[in-house]
């Protein structure tokens, strides 16, 4: 049913690509077979395809449609993925903190439509799944009972421990919820920057001890400091170069403004720590 030729045809038809990248087929087949999968590979290597293509496969085979839930650490990453999915034949809904109440309620209502009309993909953030009593968790539990919940994807999986332990308890609450409430639903964890030790701890927290691991070797030789980004940005501005600064120490408003200017071409250089590289895959030149 999910042979490589079928998957390749979906890839060509919906994405315009003629070949899979390294180990993408292995990961996609494992996901479609209901395995837990953990992938560590570089930003821009095509990790997102390992849940996008299975969602397409299920959407285009009668009777097999199930919801894929993708959880992002930030709203900006969620919106970036939403834009990338525009034009691909997938029924999509989003739940994030900046939505109006009516928009959120409409998204939740769509999740409970009949099989043919229900969304293929839900993009959300941990705060919507941090309690078994949350409206979204309740709906997903009902979908699980109907065998209509197919996959839970944890993007930037290194943040489950890094942020959950240090300052964002919601992340650990979310991990506990999916571990306890959805123990039989396959998980797909994705990261470009997680260490071997943290992989072992993260799979325990997410309830996916039995998993297939697809791993590239980490190669992050440089260490970046927030103060250095500001110093370099000032030097570039003084030299007449359009530049902006991005690091985790800035206010959210300032970070989002810098990212927007860079994405829109209003600045030529974005001086950033690795905080900016969470899942941002664009055509650009990275100088280390």
Query: Has residue 97 got a pLDDT over 80?
Result: no
pLDDT for 277: 55
Domains along the chain with CATH numbers: 4-215 (3.40.50.300), 226-277 (3.40.50.300)
Single pTM value for the model: 0.77
50 φ/ψ angles, rounded to the nearest 5 degrees: -70, -15
pLDDT tens profile 72-84: 988 888 888 888 8
Helices (H), 159-275: 159-166, 169-181, 196-205, 226-238, 252-263
Give the 3-state secondary structure percentages of the chain, helix then strand then coil, rounded to 5.
45, 15, 40
pLDDT tens profile 186-235: 999 999 878 888 899 899 999 998 999 998 776 554 435 566 778 888 88
**Distance between CA atoms of residues 105 and 111, nearest Å:** 10
pLDDT tens profile 14-29: 888 889 987 899 999 9
**Cβ within 8 Å of residue 245, ≥6 positions away:** 229, 230, 233, 258, 270, 271, 272
pLDDT tens profile 136-188: 999 999 999 999 999 999 998 988 887 777 667 888 899 999 999 999 999 99
Query: Has residue 87 got a pLDDT over 90?
Result: no
pLDDT for 218: 61
**Distance between CA atoms of residues 193 and 158, nearest Å:** 7
pLDDT for 80: 85
Query: Has residue 13 got a pLDDT over 80?
Result: yes
pLDDT for 137: 94
Token pair 């990961």 in the structure block, residue: 27
**Distance between CA atoms of residues 208 and 199, nearest Å:** 11
pLDDT tens profile 240-261: 999 998 876 677 778 778 888 8
């Amino acid at each position: 049913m999910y042979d490589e030729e079928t998957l390749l045809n979906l890839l060509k038809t919906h994405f315009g690509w003629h070949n899979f990248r390294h180990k993408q087929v292995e990961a996609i087949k494992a996901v479609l077979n209901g395995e837990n999968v953990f992938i560590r590979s570089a930003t821009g290597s095509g990790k997102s395809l390992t849940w996008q293509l299975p969602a397409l496969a299920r959407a285009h085979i009668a009777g097999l449609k199930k919801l894929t839930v993708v959880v992002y650490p930030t709203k900006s990453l969620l919106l970036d993925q939403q834009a990338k999915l525009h034009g691909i034949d997938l029924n999509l809904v989003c739940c994030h903190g900046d939505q109006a109440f009516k928009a959120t309620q409409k998204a939740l209502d769509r999740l409970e439509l009949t099989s043919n009309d229900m969304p293929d993909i839900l993009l959300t953030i941990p705060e919507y799944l941090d309690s078994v009593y949350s409206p979204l968790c309740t709906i997903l539990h009902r979908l699980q009972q109907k065998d209509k919940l197919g996959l839970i994807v944890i993007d930037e999986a290194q943040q489950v421990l890094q942020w959950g332990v240090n300052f964002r308890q919601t992340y650990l609450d979310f991990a506990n919820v999916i571990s306890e409430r959805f123990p039989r639903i396959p998980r797909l964890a994705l990261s470009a920057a997680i260490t071997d030790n943290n992989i072992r701890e993260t799979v325990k927290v997410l309830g996916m001890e039995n998993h297939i691991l697809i791993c590239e070797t980490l190669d992050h030789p440089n260490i970046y400091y927030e103060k250095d980004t500001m110093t370099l940005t000032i030097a570039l501005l003084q030299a007449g170069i359009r530049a902006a600064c991005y690091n985790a120490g800035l206010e959210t408003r300032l970070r989002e403004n810098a990212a927007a200017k860079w994405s829109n071409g209003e600045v030529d250089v974005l001086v950033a720590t690795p905080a900016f590289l969470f899942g941002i895959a664009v055509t650009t030149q990275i100088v280390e």
